[in-house]
Chains A and B, each alone.
Chain A
């Protein structure tokens, strides 16, 4: 049993490291999707995909021990949900809040990534 748990712990550490390593890129994709949605036609499909990816990051962040990322994604998800019923008629203040939440998510992802480079997986446990 211990061997199994040790093996699992090693695999979990590998998966967590892989998750943290691709966090900045993953958040950059969200950022690009948001920018595309804001600058283009505000197409509903793009908005739905963005919302879904943010929801995924909220769940995966907490599951992999990156609670700061999960919390930042939760805030962004909430901000996006305000627009869900009428994405095309978003008020400027709503959009500013979304952009601020995206910046916060970006900052948190970068912080955890940098911490992981400095000290193994320490950043993922915050």
Chain B
């Protein structure tokens, strides 16, 4: 059986420096297709055409933050089942519990190592896939 591979990542981050760095890391090292944008509104413009397999969202964004962006994106058929990873400098036990309840797979904490980011993302995505497969057996 052919193993499922992660290909399309929708990435939302308002900091242009971090956005460029993460996009470059995911594209060059991970060989992922990345649709990157700076806000919830921009993500809504992209999501249907891009049909992401994974949502990678910054938490602290002005206007609409990461958790609210996730809720809005999940209302779209094209992203309703896409797993999500948050990327943030701010995480404590309470935050983590809240994110898990929203169905977030995991949190990548800033600062992250840009050389290792792609494998980190892939690993989180794969562990979710194997959990899903185990549950479906």
Contacts and interface: CB of A to CB of B under 8 A. Distances in A.
A3 to B, nearest CB: 10
Interface in A101-120: none
Contacts of A7: 28
Nearest to A19: B17
B72 to A, nearest CB: 20
A48 B18 contact: no
Taking chain A's interface residues, is the majority helix, strand, or loop, or is none over half, making it mixed? helix
Contact of B25 (A8, A18, A56): A8
A97 interface: no
B15 A8 contact: no
Contact of B17 (A49, A64, A70): A64
A11 B23 CA distance: 11
B15 A56 contact: yes
B28 A8 contact: yes
A56 B88 CA distance: 10
Interface of B: 14-15, 17-18, 20-21, 24-25, 28-29, 60, 62, 89, 110-112, 114-115
